[in-house]
Structure 1
Amino acid sequence: MAYEQAAFDAVAIGASAGGVTALQTVVGALPARFPAAVFVVQHLDPRHKSLLADLLGRHARVAVKEAVNG
């Protein structure tokens, strides 16, 4: 499948803890060769470990990685 040049180099999506199902749906719909970086930001208490990358990775055809500080 041919892809046109992306209008944007990056896409940013924000959600709270209640938005995980919607994020799984959106990320799961992205083609393996999606032509832009996708940044997902989730509001999370800093005392809790995020499982978002693992949850999204189960539905994605693109690489999912958690950002690290530094």
Structure 2
Amino acid sequence: MAKSARNGNTRKAKTSSREGAQQPAPFPLIGIGASAGGIAALQKFFPEVPSDSGFAYVVIQHLDAEHESVLASIIQRSTAIETQTAAEGMEIEPDKIYVTPPGVSVTMGDQ
């Protein structure tokens, strides 16, 4: 319980239903679509983005499902922002870049 300095009342901290953990603050989510030619643009874009912007980025690249994507490692080389390949059930966090794997449909929703 936290006390209000103004009037001495007490109030409960906001928590989620998950084991009493604090509910995270909302943050902007930016979706970026690119084809094979978009890699150079992404390499120019992400170095200009502050690593503590508070935004989350989801990069979707048009790539044949049979090809292995190395886009996450390519982007990571050009930025201090943690970059990873998105996976099912992964929780999106601010100040991270998520790259979708080839041949996968991505859906996002509130948990």
TM-score bracket for this pair, using the shorter chain length = 0.7 to 0.9
SS in structure 2 at match of 1:46:
coil
Deviations 1:2-25 (A, max 9, x none): xxxxxx611111000111000111
**Structure with max Cα Rg:** 2
Specify the code of the residue in structure 2 equivalent to 1:15: A
When you count strand as a share of all residues, which structure comes out higher? Answer: 2
**TM-score w.r.t. length of structure 2:** 0.53
Q: Name 1:50's counterpart in structure 2.
A: 69
Q: Name 2:102's counterpart in structure 1.
A: none
The gaps in structure 2 that reach 5 residues or longer are 1-26, 90-111
Aligned counterparts of 2:68 and 2:88: Cα–Cα separation in 1: 14
Q: Name 1:20's counterpart in structure 2.
A: 39
CA RMSD of aligned residues (A): 1.3
Q: Identity over the aligned pairs, expressed in percent?
A: 40
Specify the code of the residue in structure 2 equivalent to 1:24: Q
The gaps in structure 1 that reach 5 residues or longer are 1-7
Q: Name 1:64's counterpart in structure 2.
A: 83
**TM-score w.r.t. length of structure 1:** 0.82
When you count helix as a share of all residues, which structure comes out higher? Answer: 1
Deviations 1:12-44 (A, max 9, x none): 110001110001111111111011101111000
